[in-house]
Structures are given as C-alpha cells and as structure tokens.
Amino acid sequence: MLDVVPGLFLLQHAGGGKANQYFLRGFDADHGTDLAIHVDGIPVNLPSHGHGQGYADLHFLIPELVERVEVTKGPYFPDQGDFATAGAVNLVLRKHFDESSLSATGGRFGTLRLVGIASPKLDGFEPLLAGEIHATDGPNDIKERLRRVNLFARATHKIGDRAELGLAATSYASQWNASNQIPLRAVRSGQLGFFGGLDPTDGGGTARHSAYLTLELRPTDTDEVTLVGYAIKYDFTLYSNFTFFSEDPARGDQIQQSDDRLVFGAKARYHFHRTLGPALFSTTFGLDVRRDSIENALWHTASRERLEQRTHAQIDQSTSSLFVQEDLVPTGWFRAMAGVRADYLAFAVEDRLEDLATTGTSGSGLAQKLIVSPKASAVFTPLPRTDLYLDFGAGYHSNDARSNVSAKANATPVTRALGYELGVRTGIVPRVDLAAALYLIDLDSETVWVGDQGTTEQSGATRRYGAEFEARVQIAPWMYADLDVTLNHGEFVHNAGNGAAIALAPKVTYSGGLSARHPSGAYGRVSLRGITDRPATADGFLVAEGFSLVDVTLGYRYRFVEVAVAVENLLDARWREAQFATVTRLSGEASTLSPPPPGACPAGTRASTASSGNFAGCEDLAFTPGAPLGVQATVTAYF
C-alpha cells in the first residue's frame, strides 16, 4: 500500500513478519524512526522498542480494507508529533463495502492467501468483518515458512444526522524464519549461494491486538468534534544473527530480542470555521495522550536457546500533546497556515538486570522533556490551478527511554528537526498534474538505540536537502501514467565535504508506471521502481548497490467474478534488498583471540579490530537477497 506514496521506498530484511525498512527524503528511517505511520489515526510507531526506535510494523493491516492514503511530508503540520520528521502517512480504512467478497491467491514459492470480507446491511448499523490467512515459504534456501493470520471487525452507527459512533477491533499473529542477511564475500567465494543462509534458526513471531472507539460530532454546520480512544496489546520476539562468530567463535552470535507492551491513548479534535468579510478562518484545536507500558529484553542465544541475558527493562513512557492550527484564506490567490504544537514526554525506566551493578552504572531513572514546535505555511495561486507554496516547521523524534535516563549514554530525550520547503503544483495543462519541491531538513543529532547490542550510538548533527518531482498524465479517461523522482543529499554538519556522508542515506529513488481501468472490467498496471547506489559506510569504502524492478498486474472482472495475475520482478533481476555495512566473522576465518594477520579479509572488505586489539571480523556488505521473478494468481467472488 505504501508504494503509492511518492518518494517513499520500502525494503524488507529478516522475513515477512518484521517491519519494513523505510526511505524518505534522504532518510534511512530504519523501521520508522523518522516516519510517523497511522491507521485510522491510531499510531503504529512503537517508541523504546526492543529492536529499534519507532518500530512500525504494518503486517496487521489487510490491504483490501484501505480506502485512501493520506500523506504529509516534512515537520510542517501541527497535528503530527513524534517521528514525523521526514513525513507521516495515515491509512484510512473503509467503513463498509457495497458487496461482500471471498478471494484466494496462489503463487510461486508456496504462496497461499485467503481473504474474506463481509459487509452486510443492517438498519442503523454498518458492520464490516474481514479475515486474512497468508502463508509463503519464500525463495531462500532456508524456507521462510511465514504464517500470518489477520482479523478485523468494525461497526458504525449513525446517531441522528450529526453524530456517528464507531467501534473497531483487530487481531494479528505471525511466525516466520528469517530471510537472513549474508556477507557478500561468502557469496563471491562460493561458500553460499545467492539465496543461502548461515543460521537456519533465525526468525521470530509477533502478535498485535487492538480496539478503538470513535465518536464524530457535528453540532452545527461550522463545528466538528472528533474523539478517539484506543488500546493495543503487543508481543514481539525476534532471533537474529548478523555477525555470526565475531563475538562468540564457539556458540555463535545469535540474539533474541523481545518486546511486550500495553498501549493506551486518546485523541480529541475540535474544528470550526468562521467568515469575516471575504476572509475565511478555520481553526483546529487538538489533544493527544498516550502511555506505553513496556517490558523488553535482549538475550544471547544459540539455536533459539538462551545463554545469557544482556538487557532487561521495564519502561513506562507517556506523551501529552496540545496543538492549535489556524488556516486563513483572505483572497482567492493566497492562503496561509500558522500553528504550534507542545509535547510533554515522560520516561521511567527500571533496569531489571541485576549484574549491571558490577559495571558501576545503573540503567534505571527518570527523564522528561517539553518540546514546543512552531509551524507555518503560505500558498500563492498566481495562475489558475497553480500553487506556489512555502513551508516551515519544527518537529522531533523521541529517543529510546533507556538511553534518555542513562548517565553513561548522555543522550537527549528527543532529537529536534527543522524543515524548510519551497514547492509548486500545477494542473494548468489539461489532463496533466505536475509538482516539484525543494526541501531541507536539519536534525540536531543522530542518536540511535542499537537494539542488537543493547547500547546507544551517537553521532552529530545532520543536514539533508534535495528535490522531488511528480507527474501524473491522463492518457485516456481510463488510463494514467505517473512518474516520481527524488534527489537527496545528506551530510554531517560538522564534517561537511570530508567523509561526511550519512551511511545508507538514499541519493536517488524513482518510481513510475502506466495504469489502466477500462469500463469493460479489464485493468492493469506496469510499474518501475528503483534506487541508486548509496554509501554503506560514511567514507564510501562499502557501497550499497542500487537496483531497478519491473512489476506487472493484470486483471478482469465480469459480473461477480474477478481474476488477476501479479508478476513481481518481471525481468528476474538479481538484486540485493536491504544492505548494511557489518563486521562479521565466518567459520574458518582468522582467530578472534589474536590480532588480524595479513590477508585476514579478502579484497573489497577490511579487517576490524576489537577494543582488546584482537581480530573482530571483516567489515563487509551484508545483504538480504531480493526476491526473483514471482507470479501470483487471484480469484475473487463477490456477493
């Protein structure tokens, strides 16, 4: 679903049950650190997560339920708070369907998917029920064996003409084996095939159950009130081995990460508009509150058996936010927005790992932070259907609670962001929509909680700037072409131009295609998406290789039956999906009990030395193999 967002690029690593890796506006947002994601306005990002800050897993979503995708880019919008630095996405789900349906999908690599949607019509209520079962073995030598179940239920009740009450619930569970990240040198030497793996016991399981209640009120023609309350129960376990035998040559370096939490929150919005002469004033007040009660831990494991515990913490994290936004339209050629948002964050951490006392430091403590973020924009309309706009905004992403309270980490509770944007949109040419934007985003720091190690990694301030181009062309009433290109540059502010590249920050991403939906019932799309080479290390020694992929979808609906075929990676490109610079040691490489001997690492890699002076492994490009050509066929019956 997120592929429709211009400039947003998604990758996956470690299996189809793990959150995606997100790229937007020069950010490698990891699993969500700098991209706020919501479903029906309910936040998906999880702060202080066991694997990574702002972890945003959307696998609980049944794609057929999505009605529209709402996108904002940059920190310019008062209703967006934590993690909305590069941008924010809200996936709005449907309240009802005109017909019910049952679909079955089968495809390559043992893929099977069943989806049922029931949308009966009842007096006074609009119920909606949906379920999904998904299984696949994947293309890798170590079978992924992904098994996923999703359930969704919603009921909407209209109270007179000016109120609507909605209740929704979701339930999701999955298990999988990881698709693994493998060192490039192992493939080049022939030790592994391109789809090989080194630890067959990597993988994980996750579950998410939620409920949310919505009340929408329209007391007058000019006033609107929206109230939302939600609760989420979440469980996560992940087994990973990224370094293989670097730390423990005998038993291996596998780790187990866990995150169990309860989330409670509420949102309130009051919107009204007034006129004063020819001017229109539109005002919005908002209140957000959220509390996460979290228990997460990190273990050293071997074949999923626990060896020793490395972290264990109980975290209580809460956020209380207020914002006000004023939109002014004084004339037909100018409109403006000004707003301010205030967020109060509180962190409480109880470090439950007893042997921390031997280190002389404690991971327990309290921290709090008040952050005020002004926002403003101005839009000029010099020509019909043409807007020139200016945006400014301050925003932030929170940092992991464990680093916030630790004196040793010396981290700040939040990372501030400042964004600026100049853009133009035009539809002055009939059947053609064009847009272009120049943007700049400054971050105070690049503080990262490294969940794989249970430590904090800090870097300096960064700057990202670039340009976006979008085009939509209506070729015929039933056919469209689109193209999106994003050019990015990222650097560390205090080392600009001298090895200051931000590792893995995307430089160029692009997507485009041709879409058709004919009145006869036939439809289809041919699409291209890609990303260019980008540095995997700040000095450019290792490079993450770019790729381009072509996908095709064709379908036809006749009365109550629909048939569709989807072909992914039509040209069967050999590509590396997620890519990282990682220090790894393979079985048979130089001993970790002595300094690295000459030739310890092959050409294209470099030896890494531990703090003890001994050999730690080879810094090499580790990657998840991208899926080859895949074909899936779907049959859907409507009733």
What pLDDT sits at residue 359? 44
What pLDDT sits at residue 14? 82
60-95 per-residue burial string, b: 16 or more CB within 10 A, e: under 16: bbbebbeeeeebebbbbbbbbbbbbbbbbbbbebbb
What pLDDT sits at residue 121? 84
Predicted confidence (pLDDT) per residue in 397-424, tens digit = 999 998 888 755 567 889 999 999 999 9
Q: What Rg value do the Cα atoms of the chain yield, rounded? A: 25
What pLDDT sits at residue 1? 83
Q: Which H or E element spans position 128?
A: strand 125-136
Give CA–CA dist 113/432, Å, rounded: 37
Q: 3-state class of 358 per DSSP?
A: helix
Name, in order, each residue with C-beta under 8 angstroms of 364's C-beta and a sequence gap of 6 or more. 349, 350, 351, 405
**606 with 618: CB under 8 angstroms?**
yes
Give CA–CA dist 132/64, Å, rounded: 10
Give how far Cα 291 sits from Cα of 57, 209, 236, 315, 525, Å.
Answer: 19, 16, 18, 10, 42
Strand partners, 129: 118, 153
Predicted confidence (pLDDT) per residue in 73-84, tens digit = 999 999 999 999
Which domains are delineated in the chain? 2-638 (2.40.170.20)
Give CA–CA dist 95/247, Å, rounded: 52
For the record, the structure tokens of 156 come out as 């909407």
**568 with 630: CB under 8 angstroms?**
yes
Give CA–CA dist 100/118, Å, rounded: 5
Give CA–CA dist 637/639, Å, rounded: 7
Q: 3-state class of 214 per DSSP?
A: strand
For the record, the structure tokens of 26 come out as 């020069």
Give CA–CA dist 28/14, Å, rounded: 17
**94 with 68: CB under 8 angstroms?**
no
What pLDDT sits at residue 451? 47
What pLDDT sits at residue 362? 60
For residue 396, the Cα-to-chain-centroid distance in whole angstroms is: 16
How is 42-62 classified by DSSP, letter by letter?
Answer: EE--BTT-SSSTTB---TT--
What pLDDT sits at residue 506? 92
Q: What is the DSSP letter of 612?
A: T
What pLDDT sits at residue 358? 44
Point out the residues of the chain with pLDDT beneath 70.
354-362, 407-410, 446-457, 495-500
